[in-house]
Chains A and B, each alone.
Chain A
């Protein structure tokens, strides 16, 4: 047994475990904080107050909601498929958190006592594809929740979401290919490093990928089932959609968490691939890694804000509009973007 332990690099394992815990906590906290910000911001947009009773500015509202989720009675509908009904939230939440190991928050930071430490759990040469693989698994949670609940609304929500996610996943991936061609790598850290030129402003959104960015942004919002593409849970026609039968218990909290962590993931991916990750103007982020970290979180925060902004301003698409737009507009545009990127790649480098 001791040989077994010796065969593993213990320092590596401990460092990785600590980082995983940190990323996991960030993943856990993001739905809590996002939920509060979203409710306050929506209220601001709609000219009302929003939650403001629990704690200063209603800051502890999300925590109160979380405690409520924990202690509420857990009801499984009699007609539901017990197995799948319980399995679905787990299936939704696990791939969502698994993406966390490749989030590249920054390059390297010099910590006291510990020396230089990388600001990501791990990097490998197909990290971008790994993110796509995990987000493509996210669909099962929704589909199983819809099927397992054995209710018409849930089933329709689940079916809609699988059709929607299959359609928009294509354009999402194809939009990324342009940037991959330009970076010449699938490693997220390397992609960010490729964008450090022009005084930290060599972001791919400015250099040949504005169209790719736009396609990515739209597909990402559809992929995470948010307004204006939130058809899987359109209240007015489908009650709660796939989570209609999940009665605010811990299971619902897990579905909810998976949705917000997926939003965080696509925001981070947009930041890394199109907005230069931790690169930014004015300072050399190699000398000031903390500024790089700030840039990174500012950009991610912008995307999270964009989600709320859109939710507060746009009406929902109709289902046939959604499908037409995905297949007849976004997909051809994404293909065109690949052709353009390839031509630029041949002539510019």
Chain B
């Protein structure tokens, strides 16, 4: 099973894969949400490096830009903004959930093994993005091939996703604006123009205890 000579790429793969698994475990083992988020970022970056090993630099870079650079920044931002401290143990509330974990875990492991067996029986035709004799639009994981399939074969799901995202944006705006009218007025008053126009008498409020 174990090959006698190991190539440089295999050593890289093994190291990176081990790091990814360790970081992934760390996500669920950490109690402090910020450590979990950081572990997730490590996992995502290592996965990007694995994509590089598969000669798919475009996907690797997108992985970092979209997940590590945008989504996780928002996660970390929210964790800091809400100042979430260490998670309290909630075993009493979700006592029965833990019995669900073993069967789900076994199902996942079984799925992985099925996929591996399927791939071993029918190796897919992988075309490297780096091989020079292939047109970039045909190779797997290049910017051209992804754009091609995104705007031809998968154009409907792609557009649907953008409509969904637009709906989410509008929804978020609506929720954020639903504060009481007085509050909005108070905030608006605090804004620039009003500050300048204030009379001297308005500048200080005395609060009686």
Binding site for B on A (CB under 8 A): 3-4, 7-8, 84, 124-126, 129-130, 132-134, 136-137, 139-140, 143-144, 146-147, 155, 158-159, 162-163, 165-166, 169, 186, 318, 320-321
5 more A-B contacts (CB under 8 A) besides A129-B61, A133-B64?
Answer: A132-B65, A159-B81, A162-B76, A162-B80, A163-B77
Would you list which residues of chain B between 52 and 82 have a CB under 8 Å from chain A? 57-58, 61-62, 64-65, 68-70, 73-74, 76-77, 80-81
A132 proximity list for chain B (CB < 8 A):
61, 65, 69
B23 CB–A CB distance under 8 Å? no
Assess the A136–B191 pair: CB atoms within 8 A: no
Roughly how many angstroms separate A162 CA and B77 CA in the complex, as a whole number?
A: 7
Known contacts A132-B65, A133-B64; decide if A4 and B41 are in contact (CB<8 Å): no
Assess the A139–B57 pair: CB atoms within 8 A: no
Interface bin, chain B: 20 to 34
Name 20 A/B residue pairs within 8 A (Cβ), A-sorted.
A4-B5, A125-B143, A126-B57, A129-B58, A130-B61, A132-B65, A136-B64, A136-B73, A137-B45, A137-B68, A139-B69, A143-B73, A146-B80, A155-B80, A162-B77, A163-B77, A166-B74, A169-B69, A318-B192, A320-B192
Residue of chain B at shortest CB distance from A165: B73
Assess the B81–A133 pair: CB atoms within 8 A: no
A320 proximity list for chain B (CB < 8 A):
191-192
Assess the B8–A143 pair: CB atoms within 8 A: no
Assess the A143–B77 pair: CB atoms within 8 A: yes
The 9 A-B residue pairs whose C-beta atoms are closest, nearest first, are: A136-B69, A133-B64, A129-B61, A133-B65, A162-B77, A133-B61, A126-B58, A126-B57, A126-B61
B34 CB–A CB distance under 8 Å? yes
Known contacts A7-B8, A139-B73; decide if A125 and B80 are in contact (CB<8 Å): no
Residue of chain B at shortest CB distance from A5: B8
Binding site for A on B (CB under 8 A): 5-8, 11, 34, 38, 41, 45, 57-58, 61-62, 64-65, 68-70, 73-74, 76-77, 80-81, 129, 136, 142-143, 191-192
A137 proximity list for chain B (CB < 8 A):
45, 64, 68-69
Assess the A143–B192 pair: CB atoms within 8 A: no
Roughly how many angstroms separate A130 CA and B58 CA in the complex, as a whole number?
A: 9
A126 proximity list for chain B (CB < 8 A):
57-58, 61, 143
Smallest CB separation, B201 vs chain A (Å): 24
Residue of chain A at shortest CB distance from B58: A126
Assess the A162–B73 pair: CB atoms within 8 A: yes
Residue of chain B at shortest CB distance from A84: B34
Smallest CB separation, B41 vs chain A (Å): 7
Roughly how many angstroms separate A134 CA and B129 CA in the complex, as a whole number?
A: 22
Roughly how many angstroms separate A4 CA and B7 CA in the complex, as a whole number?
A: 6
Smallest CB separation, A171 vs chain B (Å): 14
Smallest CB separation, B37 vs chain A (Å): 10
Known contacts A125-B142, A126-B61; decide if A159 and B80 are in contact (CB<8 Å): yes
Roughly how many angstroms separate A130 CA and B63 CA in the complex, as a whole number?
A: 11
Smallest CB separation, A264 vs chain B (Å): 20
A166 proximity list for chain B (CB < 8 A):
70, 73-74, 77
